[in-house]
Structure 1
Amino acid sequence: MNIKVALVTGGFTGEAEISYKSSAFVYSQLDKSKYDVYVIDITNQGWYGSLGEGEKVAVDKEDFSLHLNGEKIRFDVALIILHGTPGEDGRLQGYFDMIGLPYTSCGALTSALTMNKGYTKSILADIPEINVAKSVLLFENHRKDGVRLVEEKLALPYFVKPNAGGSSIGMTKVKESAQLQEALDKAFDAENTGQQVLVEEFVQGREFSQGIFRNAKGELIVLPATEVRTTREFFDFEAKYVPGLTEEITPADLHVEQRDRAARIIKEIYVRLDCKGMVRVDFFLESTTDKFYFIEINTIPGQTAQSFIPQQVRAYGMKEGDFYAELIAAALK
């Protein structure tokens, strides 16, 4: 009997459009001789099973099931490919925990924590061989005083970003003080990001993104790193998703010591944060010091054919379908 997989997509933020592209790619890679795959679209308008050609049926939220042709479909596992809230911030994971449905991502607490960039940096700050940029975390009641609080503690240029956002939505690189208030307002007002803003000092260096996952045997596998070189001011939403603006080099040109050091750091991050499934860690390699600087962790990374994780899976010598099968098998254990 085939394993019944709920491929969860959609979401409540602007990242939903990326979720749909990611889930379409994952669906195309899953072995339909092993899995009965049902695409579940979660939006502010409702939760629906997508049955093709525009047909859909409401999800029974009592037990996350579908009623089709007089039959009740209950799932063995949820493959979460929903970027942003509620799939990446722990809300969906908490619900699945309550109804007893296994899933492929980090747990509720880890997911909620890692969506908060400032809190995550605090937990990782003492890991050997990793550095974190100086930063200021601002809450909504700091909005009027934000410029002063930032300028008192940080030196230009700054990166200003929603503390709980993704895909670089609401993010700005600030080169001069006159730009700061507008950048803070943009980050505070980004949709569904909790009205918290993280401001960091700029780190000059090469940017990398690297995946890690736990396979069905329980082994931690670090994938080859990707170096990101963009013609944009920084790796913003357009750089991530508009073809031709960014060069992505997989595997990245790192020497052996740098590769080994990155792998040690990423494994420690995974363990320290109690991660599950696949995650992706973004970091800088500072030009003048050769030090690694943590940027952020993504617990539901993009999964289009061009996304970092599929690139890295292929560079590792693995087929994407086999990779997703490992995630499912690990979740079912």
Structure 2
Amino acid sequence: MKKIAVIMGGYTKESAISIKSGKVVYENLCRKEFIPYKVYIFKDKWFVKDEKNKEYPIDKYDFSFSVVENKIHFDCVFNAIHGTPGEDGILQAYFELLKIPYTGCNFHHANMTFNKKYCLTLLKHFGINTAISIFLNKNQTICQNKILKKVGLPCFVKPNRSGSSIGISKVYEEKDLSNAIEKAFIEDEEIIIESFLKGREVSVGVFSFKNETFVLPITEIISHNDFFDFESKYSGKSQEITPAKFLPNIQNKIKKVAKKVYNYLNLSGISRSEYIIVNGEPFFLELNTVPGLSKESIFPQQLKIAGISLSDFFKDCINFSIKKMNK
């Protein structure tokens, strides 16, 4: 049976969400085919935790661990880390060097999609609709008048490399812009300021299997807060409708754009992309290559509606990753 490292945790405020995702993966891996291990990756330590909560340190030289005198190596890594170092390409590059198969996209695609500036710039080149935006560096001189002249009010201020809506502000008045910029710069040295798009927000899961791209049922997100922020996502303060209630022609358009985005970015494995539907047209917001997999998360909801069990889906992800690495 294949030994699977389910990695969870990470270096950001998304760590607790990642652990929930990792535990769902761990619980749903078929014990007839896999021997799963819970592997926690934090800034200060990497370790395996067994059922008795005993910890075994990971040897970073070859990503193994030892029990008594037995050294255990993994056949594949299931990546459930949101944010750095699991979603930005750092761990993917590490596993590439060690020749250990891992789920999800390659390290360069992970790095590019995690960086909103790179991702939006590339997709604009391919003709995908996006909000009007401005990018700022921390050491850059900031002229608020120029910013607002371009993006208008209200607008969103976001860290360039961050997930789960951490560090994001919606700004209604010019006097609040500087505080929003400071808040975003706490999370990242680069930020993005985007114009407000008025429309319906949707999330679309996309994955590849056997060289085919599959689009899952669409989810409409109705936040009880001002926008789909961290609290809305993880404290039940939003309504998530799967499948979303759109006319067939609009649904087809959303799915077509989501599939194009996935293929334009040359992704593999799973992803979840977000859009605002403005006058029947999808406008791309962002994309996650390690979407939440907890019981409350959107991606598992979409799999359920599509009639795909978590156990079968995770098995396919692992087997596909092993074949891809061994090509």
TM (norm. structure 2) is 0.96
* Alpha-carbon separation, structure 2, partners of 1:258 and 1:4: 43
* Alpha-carbon separation, structure 2, partners of 1:255 and 1:316: 19
Matched, 1:174 2:174: no
* Alpha-carbon separation, structure 1, partners of 2:249 and 2:173: 37
Structure 1 stretches of 4+ with a deviation exceeding 2 A read 146-149
1:327 is matched with: 317
Could you tell me which amino acid in structure 2 is paired with residue 229 of structure 1? Answer: I
What's the CA shift for 1:52?
2.8
**Corresponding residue SS for 2:78:** strand
**Corresponding residue SS for 1:67:** strand
Alignment of 1:181-220 (within 5 A): 181-190=178-187, 193=188, 195-215=189-209, 217-220=210-213
* Alpha-carbon separation, structure 1, partners of 2:218 and 2:266: 21
CA RMSD, Structure 1 to Structure 2 (Å): 1.2
CA separation of 1:42/1:146 partners in 2, compared to 1, >3 Å: closer, same or farther? farther
Structure 1's unaligned 5+ residue stretches are: none
1:131 is matched with: 129
Deviations 1:150-197 (A, max 9, x none): 12422111011101000000000001101100000000012xx3x111
Alignment of 1:63-212 (within 5 A): 63-128=62-127, 130-142=128-140, 144-190=141-187, 193=188, 195-212=189-206
1:279 is matched with: 271
CA separation of 1:71/1:268 partners in 2, compared to 1, >3 Å: closer, same or farther? same
Could you tell me which amino acid in structure 2 is paired with residue 90 of structure 1? Answer: G
* Alpha-carbon separation, structure 2, partners of 1:262 and 1:231: 23
Matched, 1:233 2:208: no
TM (norm. structure 1) is 0.94
CA separation of 1:39/1:204 partners in 2, compared to 1, >3 Å: closer, same or farther? same
How many pairs align?
Answer: 323
Work out whether residues 146 and 184 of structure 1, in 8 Å CA contact, stay in contact via their aligned partners in 2: no
* Alpha-carbon separation, structure 1, partners of 2:256 and 2:265: 14
2:291 is matched with: 301
What's the CA shift for 1:146?
4.8
What's the CA shift for 1:62?
1.2
Matched, 1:316 2:306: yes
Work out whether residues 285 and 292 of structure 1, in 8 Å CA contact, stay in contact via their aligned partners in 2: yes
* Alpha-carbon separation, structure 2, partners of 1:88 and 1:219: 23
* Alpha-carbon separation, structure 2, partners of 1:267 and 1:152: 33
CA separation of 1:203/1:37 partners in 2, compared to 1, >3 Å: closer, same or farther? same
Q: How many percent identity over aligned positions?
A: 37
